[in-house]
């Protein structure tokens, strides 16, 4: 079975973003970028499926400008076999990305597509579900555990839901989105980073895939959220309770 | 045109997030979106449908009582809603795991770019939503014919019963896409209030040291009628189950009082609780970022402070 993994390049999770003064967006110039953490988990899971003999090929896909290649290299160094780079300078919305991925899936014919449940930049949490809909496939979102049946026809997915955990059996082929507890992604070793340089990254364009990526949403402005007023330190628990009762009025 | 709300419900009642979503739908309705219809799909869900019909501002309730919808499968729900979509200008889901799972599947089928997790309605096509873990707020306009939206429950009051009861109309089930099958669920049972709608939340982080130590938080929670939450670090360490997680990609809470214990305050955690009315932080590291958002902070060892806090709360309760 071939496994396709979608990955996104985002501002590093440890960076506190700055909103541009003119309200046009957040500052991205000279900011550290990295693979979206949920995408790392997706790559790790795919590589483990290959190590377990369930996947015979792991193919990465990323859509975005030139530097998306760096993110693909990171995934290749983690153990993916090859990569596809959909090159575009346009800003991409989840629906457009889902359409691009559906077009790639039509060419590649994977049995399973793994994605992160959410990108930590736009926080949309949409692409995997949209892709499953466009392909008419089953979806297992927010996965914390996956297990393939012996005959490869069913994937059992444990999902992190608001009430706890839920388990569903998906008819293959399927789209799965990863949650935090699915695995702990490996660090690429130096030999693997060197080896990844020899792996192929094939460029494609939205035009070649026949997908209209014109944005649907108009971002009118991006603002900084209202800051919280500074607080105070108290010395004792008794003083805290007194403040909560008599000052804040919440007890 | 009208606004459709997909109801999350269970055990015969609407989820609190559904009531907040109805309020949001009402705001869109008044801004030109039209009347509010609520769709209750599930098994044995008549009671929840009747509850929805009694809610102020709901003009119509659609009920589809069939086993296909028993476990809120996104595949089955999308197949049910897609044929109805053309009659609505807006289709809203609560931004819970129910809505996050189901809404985008419908959005793709109706070729709509979903607007996720909105926290304010500017007009019928313009909405405010947090991005970058809430460190920025984007105002976006959608011109899609059917706007598919998920709603941040903490940003809208819960709708209450009132007005004349709405009519309840039966909706025939759609064909079962047969793509996925529910196997089972392991849900956390708790007598305490639900995390996202509790008036008081007390959360523990890595500093708690172990799952057993969460008893210190639970004792205080019981005195306050509070829910217990956790940071990602505490969940990853296996102290508590995943459904305790408060944060950017976990649960969003905005209680009257949030008490963060042994939580350093990573951006991702702050994203889930910084809209709380009053924030208390207890941490031994005086430079912990949690103190930057806290109204009241105590620097010290939580194992000393929690018993003192429990005693002080018990004493205050006596008065």
Sheet holding B227-230, edge to edge: A232-233, B296-299, B278-283, B257-261, B200-204, B227-230
Strands (E), B9-67: 9-10, 13-14, 35-42, 58-65
Determine which of A21, A128, A234, A237 to mutate to test the interface with B (most B C-beta atoms within 10 Å). A237
HSE-CB at A130 with a 13 A cutoff on CA atoms is 28
Q: Are B293 and A228 an interchain contact pair (Cβ–Cβ within 8 Å)? A: yes
* pLDDT tens digits along B236-283: 999 999 999 999 999 999 999 999 999 999 999 999 999 999 999 999
Closest residue in A to B180 (Cα) is A170
Q: Is A132 on the interface with B (CB under 8 A)?
A: yes
Backbone angles phi, psi at B255, to 5 degrees: -75, 175
State percent of chain A over pLDDT 90: 97
pLDDT value of position B189: 85
pTM: 0.97
pLDDT value of position B163: 87
pLDDT value of position A230: 84
Chain B hits for A244, CB-CB cut-off 8 Å, are 257, 278, 280, 296
* pLDDT tens digits along A148-189: 999 999 999 999 999 999 999 999 999 999 999 999 999 999
Size of interface A-B (CB pairs under 8 A): 270
Looking at residues A210-215, what average pLDDT do you find?
Answer: 98
Quickly state the pLDDT bin for A114 (edges 50, 70, 90).
very high
HSE-CB at A27 with a 13 A cutoff on CA atoms is 13
Q: Are A164 and B185 an interchain contact pair (Cβ–Cβ within 8 Å)? A: yes
Q: Are A181 and B242 an interchain contact pair (Cβ–Cβ within 8 Å)? A: yes
Low-confidence ranges of chain B (pLDDT < 70): none
- Cα separation of A200 and A180, whole Å? 29
Left (φ > 0), alpha (ψ -120 to 50) or beta: where does A81 sit?
alpha
């Amino acid at each position: 079975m071939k496994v396709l993994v979608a990955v996104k390049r985002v501002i590093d999770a440890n960076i506190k973003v700055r909103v541009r003064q003119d309200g046009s967006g957040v500052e991205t110039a000279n900011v550290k970028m990295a693979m979206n953490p949920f995408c790392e988990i997706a790559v790790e899971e795919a590589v483990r499926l290959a190590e377990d003999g369930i996947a015979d090929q792991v193919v990465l896909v990323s859509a975005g400008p030139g530097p998306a290649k760096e993110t693909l290299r990171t995934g290749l160094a983690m153990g993916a076999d090859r990569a596809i780079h959909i090159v575009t300078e346009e800003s991409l919305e989840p629906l457009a990305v889902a359409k691009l991925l559906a077009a790639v899936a039509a060419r590649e014919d994977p049995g399973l597509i793994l994605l992160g449940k959410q990108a930590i930049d736009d926080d949309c949490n949409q692409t995997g579900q949209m892709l499953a809909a466009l392909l008419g496939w089953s979806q297992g979102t927010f996965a914390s555990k996956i297990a393939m049946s012996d005959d490869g026809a069913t994937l059992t997915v444990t999902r992190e839901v608001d009430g706890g955990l839920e388990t569903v059996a998906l008819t293959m082929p399927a789209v799965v989105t990863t949650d935090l507890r699915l695995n702990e992604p490996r660090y690429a070793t130096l030999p693997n980073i060197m080896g990844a340089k020899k792996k192929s990254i094939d460029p494609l364009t939205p035009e070649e895939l026949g997908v209209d990526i014109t944005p649907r949403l108009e971002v009118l402005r991006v603002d900084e959220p209202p800051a919280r007023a500074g607080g105070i330190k108290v010395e004792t628990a008794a003083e805290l309770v007194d403040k909560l009762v008599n000052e804040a009025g919440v007890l | 045109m009208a606004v459709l709300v997909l109801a999350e419900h269970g055990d015969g009642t609407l989820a609190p997030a559904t009531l907040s979503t109805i309020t949001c739908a009402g705001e869109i309705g008044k801004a030109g979106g039209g009347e509010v219809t609520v769709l209750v799909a599930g098994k044995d869900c008549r009671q929840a449908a009747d509850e929805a019909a009694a809610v102020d501002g709901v003009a119509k309730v659609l009920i589809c009582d069939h086993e296909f919808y028993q476990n809120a499968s996104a595949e089955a729900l999308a197949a049910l809603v897609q044929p109805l979509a053309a009659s609505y200008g807006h289709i809203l889901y609560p931004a819970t795991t129910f809505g996050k799972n189901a809404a985008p599947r419908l959005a793709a089928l109706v070729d709509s770019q979903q607007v996720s997790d909105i926290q304010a309605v500017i007009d019928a096509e313009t909405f405010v939503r947090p991005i970058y873990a809430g460190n920025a707020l984007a105002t976006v306009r959608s011109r899609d014919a059917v706007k598919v939206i998920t709603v941040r429950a903490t940003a809208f009051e819960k709708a209450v019963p009132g007005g004349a009861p709405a009519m309840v109309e039966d909706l025939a089930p759609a064909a079962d896409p047969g793509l996925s099958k529910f196997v089972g669920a392991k849900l956390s049972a708790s007598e305490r209030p639900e995390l996202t709608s509790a008036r008081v939340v007390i959360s523990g982080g890595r500093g708690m040291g172990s799952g057993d130590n969460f008893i210190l938080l639970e004792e205080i929670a019981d005195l306050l009628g509070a829910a217990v939450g956790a940071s990602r670090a505490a969940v990853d360490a296996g102290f508590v189950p995943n459904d305790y997680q408060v944060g950017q990609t976990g649960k969003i809470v905005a209680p009257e009082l949030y008490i963060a214990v042994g939580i350093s305050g990573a951006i991702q955690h702050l994203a889930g609780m910084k809209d709380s009315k009053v924030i208390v932080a207890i941490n031994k590291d005086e430079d912990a970022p949690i103190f930057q958002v806290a109204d009241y902070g105590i620097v010290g060892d939580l194992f000393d402070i929690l018993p003192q806090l429990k005693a002080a709360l018990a004493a205050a309760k006596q008065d």
